[in-house]
Amino acid sequence: MPDPIDPKVFSGYPTAKPFTVVPRKDQLTFFPCTNCHSALKPNPEPRKLTAAPHPAALLHGNGRFWCLTCHQLQGRDQLHTLSGQPVDFNDAYLVCGQCHFNRQKDWYYGAHGKRQKNWQGERVIYNCTFCHDPHDPTLKPRAPSKGPPVRAGLTALGGHP
């Protein structure tokens, strides 16, 4: 559970209410990255990765990105901003929001994303990477959920019970 004493406040939206982001590092299968990368010489050349656990294709950015667009070359256990500032994996929304600023603004105000527990009280929200795979962030189509039952005495639209 995130520390409720240290809520995040983004200075770009002063009217957004403070929130806490649910941490994810402890849920990542291949983290810390230095478990493997500490034994490998850093290679900054863009190339197709073929070794697991890395995805063979990066489907984010329509071919404009590669790993080091978001991941640090040195200090692999962190991400980075476009200006090179280190960002903790638990704060990935800071990296995502550099390109997806309209979605990020909606996320800050609560119109995009998911909130833990309920809609009232302390704002504890999920990071972008909770719903979106950062290497292929498009949400896959899925079948709609079954609708709620019709209340007694009413007829469902289309004449179905």
The ranges assigned to domains in the chain are 1-36+58-134
Radius of gyration of the chain (CA): 20
HSE of 136, CA atoms in CB hemisphere, 13 A: 8
pLDDT in tens, 4-16: 445 555 566 788 8
Residue with tokens 């990296």: 95
Q: What is the pTM of this model?
A: 0.77
Residue pair 92/128 in contact by the 8 Å Cβ criterion: yes
pLDDT value of position 70: 93
pLDDT along the chain (161 residues), means of 10: 51 81 90 89 85 78 86 92 93 93 92 87 91 88 85 75 51
Pairing state between β 78-80 and 86-88 = antiparallel
**How many whole angstroms from its chain centre is CA 103?**
11
